[in-house]
Amino acid sequence: MRCAEILRPDSVIIENVPGVLHEAHGVLQTAIKHLRRLGYSVSYGIVSMKDIGVPQKRRRMVLLASLAAKVDIAETMEAFKSSARPISWACSDLLGRYDQGDLFNSSATHSETN
């Protein structure tokens, strides 16, 4: 929230585990209050990521906030609805790019398994 306060981006997207909705310290509720106090329109909900083309089956809590427009998580999900994608869609371009000397194209522990 401090980043939004200082940088004032037009939009903020926060993604987390669904359990954050019921987290004991009210982190999500605090973030929502803070964003609204800063003038953001805020909407959030539990999203099945595969419904928007993310190659995973996990459900996530997604919060959208905007200074530029009213946001609605259900409308946004509908607008970006996509068919399910396999993990190969996300990773196939990585094959053959392994480079032990490149921080972003190598594993932390260089071994045959990795």
Name the strand (E) or helix (H) holding 48. Answer: strand 41-48
Question: pLDDT, tens digit, for every residue of 81-110?
Answer: 999 899 888 888 887 888 888 888 877 776
Please provide the average confidence, as pLDDT, over all residues in the chain: 91
Sign for the CA dihedral angle at 93, 99, 105, 110 comes to: positive
Q: Beta partners for 47? A: 60
Tokens coding 114:
């990795």
CA distance 9 to 12: 7
Burial, 41: exposed, middle or buried (Cβ in 10 Å; 0-12, 13-18, 19+)?
Answer: middle
pLDDT tens digits, 16-43: 999 999 999 999 999 999 999 999 999 9
